[in-house]
A and B are shown apart, each in its own frame.
Chain A
């Protein structure tokens, strides 16, 4: 049971990757990318977890108590907001491509010759 979070993170990554590879709609592809991003957050935060540790905010607990790792949390917290903006950029690209080619199917778009 002590490797369960890593298994869940790997499962999410694999499922998201499978969805990206087998997708027939660009919006579905972007959502699978979001699932892959979620797996990285789960992995980072699970690596830093300490059993019976508290949150690393020392406002009301003594400074020498057992806390979870703050460095991976600092990495994850900037990451969540930035990846939402990346999803926005991808959606803007899909909307523009749909206006140009009138389809959101990846296979149809690769078959086009201009």
Chain B
């Protein structure tokens, strides 16, 4: 970094640190948070929706509009990754025999473990997504664990499965689109059924899994979308490794 640029950088960082210190002096002391919105939400979320996880109730019911915005950021970013990385596929690729040959050089046990973990991880995802309004969890956490299943298969060394998956099926993209559209449709359901966008239009259940209005449905939609989006991103990155090696 040249000397002029270093001087400007130091001035900028000092100004930023000063501004942050001045702003932080107006914050509450650590541990003595007194603002009312959080207290009202924490007190009223359980009687209002019969769901015990007030964080998920806040994110998917009271502030569902913000979550819709974040979902669309996710969707657009994944579309960008797909557009950028698929253009690179014009390079000379390797066919299935070469990939299978390289797979055989990977350790047998890690390939088996990678494939064996897919089942339990899908079950864990379903559990965390569906119980999102009762215990810590929800759509976002379940979606990233589903991405972990694909990552374990590829990291273990079983690249042939990923190659087949990319070439023969498009259910990953369909699940992502279905999730994004499903969440937006729930908002319209609120508009039609209860008069305001994203108003909770399904009545509360009594106890257990069926409480919380449309929150379980929203969790499932978000889980599908986040899982599909991150699986697409990871498989695009792995595809670059598989296809791009010119011999």
Which residues of A come within 8 Å of B, CB atoms?
2-6, 10, 13-14, 17-18, 21-22, 46-51, 55-59, 63-64, 67-75, 77-82, 84-86, 88-89, 91-93, 95-96, 99
Task: Choose among A13, A58, A77, A82 the residue that contacts B20 (Cβ–Cβ < 8 A).
Answer: A13
Could you give 23 example pairs across A and B, Cβ below 8 Å?
A2-B30, A3-B30, A6-B30, A21-B9, A21-B12, A22-B9, A49-B30, A50-B32, A63-B46, A70-B41, A70-B54, A70-B57, A72-B38, A74-B55, A74-B58, A74-B59, A78-B67, A80-B140, A82-B70, A84-B144, A85-B230, A86-B73, A95-B240
Cβ of B246 under 8 Å from chain A:
no
User: Does B67 lie within 8 Å of A5, measured CB to CB?
Assistant: no
Provide the residues of chain B in CB contact with A6, threshold 8 Å.
Answer: 20, 24, 27, 30
Q: Closest CB-CB distance, B52 to chain A, in whole Å?
A: 4
Which residues of B come within 8 Å of A, CB atoms?
1, 5-6, 9, 12-13, 16-17, 20-21, 24, 27-33, 35, 37-39, 41-43, 45-47, 52-59, 63, 66-67, 70, 73-74, 77-78, 80-81, 84-85, 87-88, 134-136, 138, 140-141, 143-144, 226, 229-230, 233, 236-237, 240
Excluding A21-B5, A78-B59, A92-B81, 14 further A-B contacts by CB distance (< 8 Å) are: A2-B31, A3-B24, A3-B30, A49-B30, A50-B33, A56-B42, A57-B53, A57-B135, A69-B42, A71-B37, A85-B230, A92-B236, A96-B85, A96-B87
Inter-chain CA distance A95–B83, complex, in Å, is 13
* In the complex with contacts A95-B88, A99-B88, A59-B24 CB distance below 8 A: no
Provide the residues of chain B in CB contact with A73, threshold 8 Å.
Answer: 55, 58
Inter-chain CA distance A3–B21, complex, in Å, is 10
